[in-house]
Structure 1
Amino acid sequence: MTEVLDATDSQTAMIADLVGSVRAVEETIARLFAVRDGMLAVASRVAIDIARQAAHPDHGDMALRAVAAEIGAAVRVSDRTIERRMDEASWTVERFVEVWAAQGAGRISAAHARVIVDAGAHLDDPADRARYAARAVEAAVVESPNRLRRVARRIAEQYQARTVTERHQDARELRRVWVKDLDDGMAELGMLGPAVLVHGIHDRLTRMARTITLENGRAGQAAKPGTAPAPRPMSLPAAPDADAAADITDATAGVGSDSRTMDQLRADLLADIALTGAPTGHDTEAGLLGEIRARVEVTVPVFTLMDDDTGGHNGGSASGAPPAELDGRSPIDTRTARLLAGDATGWERVLTHPITGALLAVDRYRPSDQLTRHLRARDQRCRFPGCNIAARRCDIDHTHAASDGGETCATNLAHLCRRHHTLKHHSRWRVEHGRPGEDDVGPDREGGETDETPRTTGDLVWTSPTGTTYVDRPPEQNTVRFTDRK
């Protein structure tokens, strides 16, 4: 390959200038991140000082939440994210000042700084921590963050006052599982746990996948090529009908010839085990955990159910109806949505306006709490600006307290997650429902620029401790809208 060797002098000079410019930009970005960390650390310190002056029994937790909520609403970021950034910034600025200074000088990037801080998080002695930081920064100047991680851990181990066993006992307390929504009806499942268990899980899945591959190979040799039966990939016990579950399997993973890769086999096996396996090590004597089945909530526009399978330009149906949505989070393919709807034991019907798409009512063929369903369909998530916790995991809160005469109605109720429910009652954040005809306007539901849309009874008007107003509007309904064509 001689592409660069064949470049002219002017082209070589241009590349050199671009390289220098990119490097300068990266150094500037590193400095700006350091400046932001400094500001967040100061905000955290101010919140703690406020709580200390007032002798708050929670040692500043609610004050930190209030300040994080203020910053998050202003920059349109979840206050949980801001509070996490504040914690990380305080940790870096106060405990690893050498690392923060190196980042502020543009010598290392924010990614380098995070690696160094994470590797030295358990160093409690200030002198040891300073020596470790100095050595790690020098290594970071010449290494990428990925390479630095191993080097930093080795350096930190030399200054550890506690054994690996002791530290591992603390780290085990952080074990967790999380879900991250992706595009195209997909999601990511993550797990943090002891390395031995995680690698053991991966090894077992790998050996199961290899066994399936070998068995398919033997079956292929005994029959004509391409006729070997394919084992079903994923199963979904949310559907009580075994045939329906198999149909969903085929729709989500595809069955015809088993040409799945090792990664695909591992994913299908993990889903099968997690959805159908009994938790024998944790179940009760009555087997209560083994009786629990997976549950999902799907919103499907009626035209999507009625249409054919050709699909539309917007990823929904041929008529232009939007695709189905899982828990108001991400679209899912139409075939899977139909199979789930066809096997559901009961439906919640959401009636929307044919022109505006606004929610009109919610009913169900079986009796249930009408108002609760209406609120869940309207709110879909926590109604604090920037929060996306699903409504089914939130509290239904009286905006005007029932003890003070507040009515139990849609115009005085909204979903708030436990975090923001507590924030509302124990901080200076205030909220009220909007009313039709109000001529004031505020930030849109994402917390950004103001618009000219009047507030409605579904809007929540939040006022922060500093007096800034933020308006949170209900999410748009996943429905069809009819408009006049001119």
Structure 2
Amino acid sequence: MYSNGVIEFSEAQTAELTAIVAAVQQADAALAAAEASRVRALARAGELAREVSAGKPSRVREHDMALRSIAATIGVPARVSDRSMQRQIGDATVLAERYPGTLEARGRGEITRQHVYAIQDAAADLPDDAVPAFEAEALERCRRDTVGRVKAELEILAQRMHPRSFAERHASAREDRRITTGRLPDGMSGLYLVGPTPMIAGIDDRLNQVTTGIIDARTAAIAAVNAAGGAPVGDDDARIPAQILATDTRTRAQIRADVAVDLLLAGSPVADPTAMGDGPGTLGAIRAKIQVVVPALSLLKPQGDENGPAEPADLVGYSPIDAETARAIAEACDTWWERLVTHPATGAVLHTDGYQRTAAIDRYLRARDRHCRFPGCRLPAIRCEVDHTIDYALGGKTDVCNLAHLCQRHHSMKQFAGWKVKQLDGGILEWTSPVGTTYTDYPPTPGVHFAPDPYDPDAPPPPDAGPPDASDAPF
């Protein structure tokens, strides 16, 4: 049923949707328990292989043969190859022995399968003795939010607990930056670029912006051609004729690929519909933009051993980056990044440096929200719209207490799909689904902070203290 363009549910439909939600939750709980039970059974199969080979002279060979036999015995009736089943047994053994708390939480349905993968991926490089402490804190975060929201937090948490600093490991990994190519069927080839995360994120953002500009220009051209009834549109020969642009049927993925080729071969989009005369068009002038959350102390000179390693920064929507890279971006780039500086003890945002000139209220909101504020969405705030929680037309104020970032998808859901939202103190959003269920979305906790000592707000400041300078599966 539609009313003024807004989706509305009848009482019967609301009751049916409520029953559907309950059925899905019941099925999810049963599935989670079954997955955990299967992992434990496969892990026990791995233990059995070790027991069979224990004490044998050629223990390694005996263990491998026993494991092969067990894998085949389990795999054949399940129509799974023994090799695949052996990998599943190995994965199950790792999960059960290295992450027992994670397996328990999955079995109780407290976290999803994707949360399990995220915990394992983040802790893959941690030594065994650091895993229990990491797992305990990681599970607390996973229980309260979606995997997309917590993934970067888990990665940063693992970086803090690793005995080797993130900067040292990044320096080693940076040596492996490269571009490789590979042949594909039918006269096609692939290009794979490995480089520092901020650079790859910037490339991705620029491709998205230019692609959106081309699609917008195509949409306008189609409208102009339709309005002209087929007559010639425009009189500037330097611009791509609207009739030609309107016939462009490329998908977004195809346009992104074409733009990447243009940028690498020619330095700017070759077929730029905004180009005028001999100069570049507005699409060629587009530059990348990324959002980095960085601890205040990480912007200072590199810290020596006596102060410990500098904390990593958080490239919002992607992953942690090392402090050295964050400092290099701050020093070299004044147009394509936005820095949010966090307190060295509490992790609270001290202030923002919008290097691209923006209004103070927008800088504050980006610092507070960091991403779309619909439950579970992690699209970076720089790609979202600033929404009036109470519509301006209905008397809502243009004030930080009535504003929040929403991506286009979830902005539309708020307007037309029956979801309601109320903003509480501190930027907390209280969402209500069409069936009346309430979900609370909190502003993200700072993903990066440095706390060498307990923070005491009543302690007197040190002499001459000033403000700090400007985060095959076994299932």
TM, length-normalised to structure 1: 0.40
TM, length-normalised to structure 2: 0.41
